[in-house]
Amino acid sequence: MSIDKQTRLKDMPIYLDCNATTPLAPEVKSYLVDFYATEVGNPGSRTHIFGQRAKQIVQNARRQISKVIECQPSEVVFTSGATESNNLALLGLMNFGRKVNKRHVISTHIEHKSILEPLKILEKNGFEISLLSASKSGYVDPDELKMQLREDTLCVSIMHVNNETGIIQPIECIATHLNGSEAIFHVDASQGFGKHIPPLKNKRIDLISISSHKIYGPTGVGALISRLRNGSRLPIEPLIHGGDQEWGLRSGSLPTALIAAFGIAAEISERDFVKRFERCKYIQELAIRNLSQIGAIFHGDHNALLPNVINFSIPGIDSEALMIILKEEIAISNGSACNSSSYTASHVLSNMGLDEDALHGSVRASWCYMTPDINWENIVGLIKQIKSE
Quote the least distance from Cβ 289 to ligand PMP, whole Å: 27
CA distances from 120 to 113, 123, 210, 371 (A): 10, 5, 22, 38
* C-alpha–C-alpha distance, residues 81 and 224, integer Å: 9
Residue 82 or 354 having the CB closest to ligand PMP: 82
Quote the least distance from Cβ 267 to ligand PMP, whole Å: 19
From the list 155, 173, 338, 368, the catalytic residue is: 338
Could you write out the DSSP letters of every residue in 322-374?
Answer: HHHHTTTTEE-BSS-TTTTTS----HHHHHTT--HHHHHH-EEEE--TTPPPP
Quote the least distance from Cβ 110 to ligand PMP, whole Å: 9
Residue 108 or 114 having the CB closest to ligand PMP: 114
Residue 193 or 312 having the CB closest to ligand PMP: 193
CA-only gyration radius of the chain, Å: 22
Residue 165 or 202 having the CB closest to ligand PMP: 165
Question: Going along the chain, which residue ranges are E strands?
Answer: 14-15, 76-79, 104-108, 128-132, 153-159, 184-188, 207-211, 222-226, 297-298, 309-313, 330-331, 363-366
Quote the least distance from Cβ 338 to ligand PMP, whole Å: 6
Give yes or no: 173 in active site. Answer: no
Residue 108 or 191 having the CB closest to ligand PMP: 191
Which residue is at the shortest CB distance from ligand PMP? 81
* Binding residues for ligand PMP (CB under 6 A): 81-83, 112, 114, 159, 163, 188, 190-191, 211, 222, 336-338
Question: Phi and psi dihedrals of 106, rounded to 5?
Answer: -110, 130
Quote the least distance from Cβ 87 to ligand PMP, whole Å: 9
CA dihedral 336, 178, 227, 124 (to 10 degrees): -60
Which residue numbers are catalytic?
Answer: 338
